[in-house]
Structure 1
């Protein structure tokens, strides 16, 4: 990633999330009106004009992935909050909108959005341009996930590292080196008991669509770097301090969110969501 430029893939993910709001009809897996304000009228018009493109099989699968990961993380966050966890850290927040459409129960959360400085500046500019107010329970931390010592960075944030934290890191790890990922696992796994971590992890894929997307993001300066063997990942996570490791299967996702629902996006075909608990 160009350290002086905002993440283009974060903007692309926002477009795919917005498409779910615009072209998928009444029934939503994730209700996110804020994303439409965040990306702006021109981007929404583009989605409407090119709506058929968003139903190409590869793009459709990616749209499911992007919407599902946020819905699942937010559902797990609610469960954690009900269990007493009142801190929410979003690593690599990108264009995440939870903080700006938070339900009433979330007013009791301390929400910290952490991202690369250039991406965070871009996000804040979008919020300002859209007239979206920043809630009082939201704060921002600049972080380079490759270079920074995470404990030092977040020690100086509004997080209380002596209490459990719910951490989400969605669509980020594939762009990081294995050393940076190990550092994240060690940091989160070292937080107090009751801490939960929901993240996405990519298994190596083959096929023309994956190759095309990999080439596109590499040209944008954000190549896919890290893919995982889940058996090895489970061992690494347990060594990092996590007591429970849950890989969310396509069958579980289908049963939980798609069976009986009138959704225009299809169930996932691959496991990419992981939930771990200290």
Structure 2
């Protein structure tokens, strides 16, 4: 299938590692021009070099902290200055923070909301005028399956992620008239640095495939998902192949979630 991404311009936040990195890589492979941003400049440079090595294409790497509105604005402005337009925004920046309610300090509530909710808000705020000018665009907000059915001891992450789902739906209704689509993906158990650390700490004698199957026994597909699988879904959603899809969420969880 031709995703019609050739010549499109995309920004991916939190793109130095994991799902963000592989999404940026996949977009480049499909012919898009990509800006990657993250807080860690060193890791960002490594990511840009890796994409260049694998694809032969350069990406624009912009160090940015999405908790700072001025950094979000700078990422958009540098992308426009470099590529001349903006078609796609993937709001992927995030952290893991899961605790019982009474153990969550006020500062942690604010930090989590600043990263996962306001980071997406501020990036979209500065991206949307350029998408309108281009005649349309696509935004994907990365959230979590547990945002739909929050378990105990999952705060503040599930609250900020649930807010991201509401943001997605409201934005899609506001922006549809401008041909700007807004969707979300809800991530389940996907291979990450954190998961790999657990693997090495808990069962280093097992291969990754064996560990994945062991941990994934309660998942209908029977394994942990790969970052590439998540990136493939995100890439489809931002592409013209999904031109009539907006205001919805897609679970990338191997069937583990109890909510559609």
TM-score band, normalised by shorter chain: 0.3 to 0.5
**Structure 1 length as normaliser, TM-score?**
0.45
Q: Given the two structures, how large is their TM-score scaled by the length of structure 2? A: 0.47
